Amino acid sequence: MNVNSYIGHASQLCGVEEVRLVGGKGDGMRLLQLRNAAGLQMTVCADRCADIYRLNFKGDNMGYFSPTGYVAPAYYDDKSTGFLKSFTAGFLTTCGLTAVGNPCTDAGEELPLHGTIGNVPCERIWWEEDEENIYIHAHISDSAVFSHKLYLKRTITCGKHTNKFCITDTVENQGDTESPLMILYHMNMGYPLLSENAIVEISSTSVKPRNDHAAEDLDTWHKMLPPSPGFEEQCYFHSFENKGTASIYNPDIRKGLTISFDPNTLDHFTEWKMMGFRDYVLGLEPGNCNPDGRDAMRKEGKLKFLKPGESITYEVTVNLYEK
């Protein structure tokens, strides 16, 4: 790597620094704080699946940080909807790997809301760089005795001079039996990127409401509202033919972002419209399933499986921009 004679240390321009939280339910959690040379900053949580909690672009917050704040895995409640007690949200919470969506009982197994992978610490996490990119690598095990044995290898690639990053995940079945595989990239837009003036565009060919309540506002799925006390969440399922994209732009801050993914592998997309008081968030969520629960996916014949020794790779790219 070339040496820059103008600076004393590489971190003067960009890089990654590891910190630990002190106090509260996040006490002791390891965070990797990444900063590039073009105005992008993100915080990757080493103790929770290498998910992206903070995302800032040239001084403005992009993601939603929930009222729970940082919560260490020790406080995770895997009963029913206990997930919500530690749902920091952030820009990315990974859901899976054997369950996504509603808590349910499937094939005799009790499954919690959104699975457990988002509360699992990385077994290994490290970072490196070259002339163009910064890379954060993480390995996470989703395994149990007498049960599934899935292994997730994640790489977050962030451009040094371009405000673009890519999440590349490879999931391998290291067990001796076929395993259900569910994954949802719960990507959460927050204020000031999200407001009633935000423009949301999704390149879907069809949109279906999740339930009757969502159907009431199907024609305005793309219209955002100001925070509304007592708002009941609305979910819409989007389908794509070719490349999948979803974008949000707010003219008030003149910034936006676009999420891109391959709908051949991530063949489901959920829009989670939650315009509540302090629970003000828009989820733009590519996945290989919808969030109705594993039992529902099985009944519909859409549940995915990994055979022993089999692996699959998913990729999601995020471009941040201003205009």
pLDDT score, position 242: 86
Q: Which of 282, 74, 267 has the alpha carbon at shortest distance from 183?
A: 267
What phi and psi values does residue 24 have, to the nearest 5 degrees? 70, -170
Q: Which of 214, 217, 265 has the alpha carbon at shortest distance from 244?
A: 265
Full set of structural domains in the chain with CATH = 10-322 (2.70.98.10)
pLDDT score, position 3: 82
Cross-strand partners of 128: 135
Mapping DSSP to helix (H, G, I), strand (E, B) and coil, where does residue 254 land? Answer: coil
One pLDDT digit (tens) per residue for the chain, 323 residues: 578 899 999 899 999 999 999 999 999 999 999 999 999 999 999 999 999 999 999 999 999 999 999 999 999 999 999 999 999 999 999 999 999 999 999 999 999 999 999 999 999 999 999 999 999 999 999 999 999 999 999 999 999 999 999 999 999 999 999 999 999 999 999 999 999 999 999 999 999 999 999 999 999 999 999 999 999 999 999 999 989 999 999 999 999 999 999 999 999 999 999 999 999 999 999 999 999 999 999 999 999 999 999 999 999 999 999 99
Distance from the Cα of residue 236 to its chain's centroid: 17
pLDDT score, position 1: 58
Mapping DSSP to helix (H, G, I), strand (E, B) and coil, where does residue 82 land? Answer: helix
